[in-house]
Structure 1
């Protein structure tokens, strides 16, 4: 079993994941889900203040009730084609480990309650992509839902680079 497989199995057998609610959102043709407990609020996309020398996926920052919040475009982070922001484009404000971050997505869908038996590990055949941020997969109707460990994704090396640049 590979390291990613072991990570996924540990997440799947974690008792805290017996039953969980996920906010689902759309990026392109895919549906993703994140732990609803990490979501602080959902807002329409508004202009951001750019910061020089940050990774391309960092759109900039906003002032949210006195907090400076970095805004991450998940389309760019996931290497998807860029689209023009429209009235459906939203920012999901996340509150994770005393840090607030906003993520730009194409739209939000629903809140789903999933039991541990409804969440499947990522198949080993998907070894060509980075699965460190994927908790698992679930079926909703006739489509697959990709469950993302948003806290791990936002704790990536690139986000640390942004925080260093923002402090300077």
Structure 2
């Protein structure tokens, strides 16, 4: 399924309104496909000291060292052991590449403007600060995320500094 979704992402030049949807703790989210570079299975990763718990560590993707964020932990949901459906959505945000661990990817959905509710009036819960809009699909909704808010500039700098200070010299991947 991951391969088919990745191929669909590669084939579409017009990405307006297109979102990669994924499941997380029985809830459905979407990322604008313009952020998504690829979808991969869980790879071995190395933990890095003193990072937030939701940053599981770093991994080596074809020679590039990339931070790995568990979206369940980022949204303060219960951690579950990764399985064969778990995967990593690799995204580029603000000139940084980050891997997002999700329970499973679902599909690529194209929303019309009429199917997107901008700036939803939600509570100020932790995961709600990352919701940019809501996409309607029939009777269901998908929470469309603002990738720019998933990691603050301070968190990105911390990860990069930890990586540059040699914590990854002994990586075993």
Which TM class, normalised by the smaller chain length? 0.7 to 0.9
Question: Whose RCO is larger (CA < 8 A, sep 6+)?
Answer: 1
Q: CA deviation at 1:153?
A: 1.6
Runs of 5+ unmatched residues, structure 1: 1-17
RMSD: 1.9
Q: In structure 2, how many angstroms separate the alpha carbons of the residues matched to 1:152 and 1:128?
A: 14
Q: CA deviation at 1:122?
A: 4.6
1:7-156 equivalences in 2 (<5 Å): 19-124=16-121, 126-130=122-126, 131-155=128-152
Higher mean displacement: 155-164 or 79-88: 155-164
Q: CA deviation at 1:135?
A: 1.4
Q: In structure 2, how many angstroms separate the alpha carbons of the residues matched to 1:112 and 1:123?
A: 19
Q: In structure 1, how many angstroms separate the alpha carbons of the residues matched to 2:98 and 2:18?
A: 20
Kept after mapping to 2: 8 A contact 1:55/1:162:
no
Q: In structure 1, how many angstroms separate the alpha carbons of the residues matched to 2:47 and 2:84?
A: 21
Kept after mapping to 2: 8 A contact 1:21/1:111:
yes
Deviations 1:26-81 (A, max 9, x none): 00111000010111111111220111111101111111111100100000000011
Change (3 A) 1:99 1:127: same
Q: In structure 2, how many angstroms separate the alpha carbons of the residues matched to 1:106 and 1:20?
A: 23
TM-score, with structure 1 as normaliser: 0.80
The aligned length equals: 150
TM-score, with structure 2 as normaliser: 0.78
Alignment-derived partner of residue 8 in structure 1: none
Kept after mapping to 1: 8 A contact 2:90/2:100:
yes
Kept after mapping to 1: 8 A contact 2:120/2:132:
no
